[in-house]
Amino acid sequence: MEDRQGRTEQGTTEPGILRLTIGFSVLLAALAATGLYNYLLFHTIAELVAITIATGVFIVAWNARTMRENGYLLVAGTGLLFVAGIELVHTLAYQGMGIFVGYDANLPTQLWIASRYLLAGTLLAAPLVLRRDPGPGWVVTAFAGISALFLLSIFVIPVFPDCYVEGIGLTPFKVWSEYVIAALLALGGVAVYRLRDVFSPRVASHLVAAIFVMIASELAFTLYTSVYGLSNMVGHLLMVLSFGIIYVAFVETGIRQPYAVVFTSLTASEDRLRREKDRLGQYLDIAGALFVVLDPDGRVALVNRRASEVLGCPVNAAVGEPWVERFVPPADRERCRTVFFGLMRGEIEANEHVRAPVLAAAGGERIIAWHNTVLRDKNGIVCGTLSSGEDITEQQHAEAALRQANAKLNLLAGITRHDILNQITVARTYIDFAGEDGENPGVQVCLKRARTAIEQIERQIEFSRDYQDMGVKAPVWQRPQDLVWESVSELALPVEVGVRVDLAGLVVYTDPMVKKVFYNLIDNAVRHGGDVTEIRFSYAISGQDLTIFCEDDGNGIPDGEKEAIFRETYRRRHGHGLFLVSGILGITGIAIRETGEAGKGARFEIRVPNGGYRFGDEGEVGA
C-alpha cells in the first residue's frame, strides 16, 4: 500500500495538483478584480467558496467515519461544517446585504470572530483526538452546542462583545481576538507537524500550509477600519487560499487517495479488534445479567459466565446446543418457540420483555426476566436474537408472598370494618330509641354527644377503607382533566360555584386513587372555603418539574395552618381528606402544599417530578 501510495503521489496526482493550483490562482485573480468592481459581490463569492469547501470536507469526513483510525478527520470535518454555518449567517448579515434589518456592521464582524474562534478551536482540538475514536454523535452534539451558544450570545442574549464601531473601526476586543485566534491556529499547526507521521506527507504538508495561510489572513483582519477596506479584501483572499489548500488536503486527496487521509494499518486493526473482542468478553463475564445469543436455528451461539452458572452448563458445552430443547422446561417450550420464531419473522416486536423459566444447575427452575432483541447482518436481514436476562426467582416468590399477605390483611380489615359498622348501626338505633323517651335535657345532651361520637367513628372507619386501598394497585398514566370533571359530576356543586379546568393534554403517572385528590380538593373548597364562586385548575412547568394548581376565591388558609392541614391529626371532626390526598400523591413522589393568601382564597400546588408527566395521547392511559 505504501509503495502504491508513493507512486500515486508522485504520478497521477501531480497533474491534478497542478490544475488545481492554476484554477485557484485564476479564482483569486478573478475575486480580486471583482472586489475592485463591487466589494459586496466579492465578499459573497469569497465566503461561498469557503463555505462550499468546508461542506465538502465534512462530506468526506462523515462518509469516512467508519474507516478512520483516528478522530482527526471526523473532528476537523464536523467543525468545519459548523464554521461554514456561522460563516453563511455572517455572509447574509454583511453590511449592504439588507437581510438583517436593524443591525450595523458590528453584527457580521461578531459572527466572523465567532466562526474564527470555532475554526481555531477545531484545528487545535482535532490533533488531540488523533489517536482516539470519538463517537460521531458526541462530536456533532459538541459542535452544535458551541455554535448555538455563539449565536445565542449574539442574537438572543447579546453578551458577545462589540467588534466594530461605525466611524471608529475595530474594537480592541476584535483586534486581540484575531491575535488569540492566530496563536491558537499556530498551536494547531505545530500539533499537526509533530504528528505528521500519522498522515501521508502530502496531507500533512498541506494542512500545515493551510493553517499558516489562515494565520496570515487573521493578521490582515486586524488592520482595516472599513468593512470594505483593502486589508479586509486581502484577508478574504488569504482565507479563500487557505480553504483551497484544505480542499487539496482533504477533498481532492481524499477522493483520489482515501488511504492517504484515512490511513489504515491492517495489523493494527486486527490487534485492535482482537483487544475489543477480549474486552467485550470480559464485560459480558463480569456482568450480573445473563446474556444469550441464538442463531437462526435457535441454537446457542454465545453465553456469558453468569448464564453458564445459572444453567449449570460450561460455556463451551452450551454453544451449539438447541436452546429450547436443552434449557427450557417442557411445559414452556412451545411458548418459547413461538416467541423466538415470532422475533425472527418480525411478528413480535423486538425489545419486548418476557418472563420465562429455565432449567437450573441443580435440576430445578429459575425465573428469568428476558429483554429480547434481534441481530441483523450487513444487509439488514435478521440473523439471530440477543437476550439479556435477570434472575428474579426470589423476587417473584417475595412478591407472591406479599400479595398473599396483603390479600389476607385486606380480607381481615374488610370483615372487621363490616362488623364495626354493623355495631355502629345497632348503637345508633338504640340511641335514637333512648332519645324518643328521654325528657331530661342532660340526657339529651349526652345522647347528642354519643351520636356525634358514633358519626366520627363511622367516618374514621370509612377513611380506613380508602387508606387501605392506597398503593395496592400499580401506578398508571391518568388525565387530571377527566378526573376533575368526573369529581364535579359526582359532587353536584351549588349553582353559584363554577369550575374552570386548563389541563388539556396533560397526563400524570400516579396511584389509581388519584381521583380522590381532586374530589377532596373541590369538596373542601366548597365546604370550608366560605363564599367560593370559582375553583380553577391549571398547570405550569418549572425547570424539569410540572406544577398543577388548584385555586379558589374563598377565605383561604391561615398562615399557621398551611402545613398542619395535611396532618392526620388536623381537625378530625372534618375528616382526613387532605391527609389522604398527601398520601395518595406521595406514593409516586408527587408533593402538595398550600401557598394561598389568607382572605384571598386557597392555592394548592401539586408538584409532579420529571418523568411523572407527559402530554398527548401516546401510550396506555387509564386506571
Tens of pLDDT, residues 426-468: 666 766 666 666 566 666 666 666 767 676 666 666 655 555 5
User: How many Cβ atoms sit within 10 Å of the Cβ of residue 91?
Assistant: 21
311 contacts 358 by C-beta, under 8 angstroms: yes
Full-prediction pTM beyond 0.75? no
Q: Sorting pLDDT into bands at 50, 70 and 90, what band is 592?
A: very high
Q: Which residue has the higher pLDDT, 405 or 338?
A: 338
Q: Could you give the angle at which helices 72-93 and 106-128 cross, rounded to 10 degrees?
A: 180
Burial string for 361-372 (b: 16+ CB within 10 Å, else e) reads eeeebbbbbbeb
SS (H, E, C) 62-103: HHCCCCCCCCHHHHHHHHHHHHHHHHHHHHHHCCCCCCCCCC
Least confident residue range of 254-268, 465-479, 527-541:
254-268
Residue carrying C-alpha cell 496526482: 13
Residue carrying C-alpha cell 501531480: 14
- pLDDT at 370 exceeding the cut of 60: yes
Q: Which residue has the higher pLDDT, 9 or 299?
A: 299
What are 251-306's pLDDT values in tens digits?
A: 655 555 544 444 434 344 555 556 665 565 555 555 567 778 888 888 888 877 77
Q: In the 8-state DSSP scheme, what is residue 560? A: G
User: How many Cβ atoms sit within 10 Å of the Cβ of residue 379?
Assistant: 6
Among the listed residues 361, 340, 249, the one whose alpha carbon sits nearest the alpha carbon of residue 298: 340
Q: In the 8-state DSSP scheme, what is residue 163? A: -
Among the listed residues 181, 240, 178, the one whose alpha carbon sits nearest the alpha carbon of residue 42: 240
Query: In angstroms, rounded to a whole number, what is the distance separating the alpha carbons of residues 67 and 265?
Result: 11
The pLDDT of residue 110 is 92
Query: In angstroms, rounded to a whole number, what is the distance separating the alpha carbons of residues 544 and 585?
Result: 18
Q: Of the spans 46-60, 125-139, 266-280, which averages the highest pLDDT?
A: 46-60
Among the listed residues 211, 45, 60, the one whose alpha carbon sits nearest the alpha carbon of residue 123: 211
Cα of first residue to Cα of last residue in the chain, in angstroms, is: 67
Q: Which residue has the higher pLDDT, 68 or 191?
A: 191
Q: Which residue has the higher pLDDT, 429 or 150?
A: 150
User: Strand, coil or helix: what is 59?
Assistant: helix
The pLDDT of residue 193 is 83
Q: What is the mean pLDDT of residues 88-105?
A: 87
Contacts of 525 (CB under 8 A, 6+ apart): 532, 535, 550, 552, 554, 602
300 contacts 323 by C-beta, under 8 angstroms: yes
Q: Give the HSE-up count for residue 403: Cα atoms under 13 Å, Cβ half-sphere.
A: 8
Give Rg (Cα) of the chain.
38
Query: In angstroms, rounded to a whole number, what is the distance separating the alpha carbons of residues 215 and 180?
Result: 10
Cell numbers found for residue 171: 474594537
69 contacts 262 by C-beta, under 8 angstroms: yes
Query: In angstroms, rounded to a whole number, what is the distance separating the alpha carbons of residues 209 and 217?
Result: 12
610 contacts 545 by C-beta, under 8 angstroms: yes
Least confident residue range of 284-288, 335-339, 394-398, 515-519:
284-288
Q: What is the mean pLDDT of residues 480-485?
A: 93
Query: In angstroms, rounded to a whole number, what is the distance separating the alpha carbons of residues 245 and 240?
Result: 9
The pLDDT of residue 148 is 95
Cell numbers found for residue 294: 441464538
Query: In angstroms, rounded to a whole number, what is the distance separating the alpha carbons of residues 121 and 115?
Result: 10
Strand partners, 366: 358
Q: Give the HSE-up count for residue 507: Cα atoms under 13 Å, Cβ half-sphere.
A: 16
